[in-house]
């Protein structure tokens, strides 16, 4: 089994910053792309940012220039640095990883449980 555990969420004032972490563990033979999504109440889950094994990143227009995704491959961890937060950034933030397990034929997507981010004064 593969587990993804997110941390770092919380309550922050508009204009503030948070740093989310996501650690992948378990039966990992190879860890491929990782990504962050978020889901606000009543809305669909949306992709925020992705990072490849070599560190290439892509961002949604909504967060480009404010959020930075980085990766520590030695620790199977990704970090999402979120700056200039706005009330509309309030959501549950989810981490996703593409993982090939030792017994798997093909890589599969694995998700974390999510961490709440609330931006409010």
Strands (E), the chain: 2-7, 10-12, 18-26, 30-39, 46-51, 57-59, 67-72, 77-82, 91-100, 108-111, 115-119
Note the pLDDT of residue 104: 85
- The pLDDT > 90 percentage for the chain reads 98
DSSP 56: -
Q: How far apart are CA 97 and CA 78, in angstroms?
A: 10
What average pLDDT does the segment 33-43 reach?
Answer: 97
Tokens of 7: 């941390």
Q: Is the pLDDT of residue 110 over 90?
A: yes
| CA neighbours closer than 13 Å in the CB half-sphere of residue 85 | 23
Please give the mean pLDDT across all residues of the chain.
96
């Amino acid at each position: 089994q593969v587990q993804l555990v997110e941390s770092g969420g919380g309550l922050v004032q508009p204009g503030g910053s948070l740093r989310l972490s996501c650690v992948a563990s378990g039966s990992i033979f190879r860890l491929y792309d990782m990504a962050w999504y978020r889901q606000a109440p009543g809305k669909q889950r949306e992709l925020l940012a992705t990072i490849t094994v070599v560190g290439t990143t892509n961002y949604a227009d909504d967060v480009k220039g404010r959020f930075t995704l980085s990766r520590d491959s030695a620790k199977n961890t990704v970090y999402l640095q979120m700056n200039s937060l706005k009330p509309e950034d309030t959501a549950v933030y989810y981490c996703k990883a593409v993982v090939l397990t030792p017994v798997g034929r093909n890589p599969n997507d694995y998700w974390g449980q999510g961490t709440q981010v609330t931006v409010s004064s």
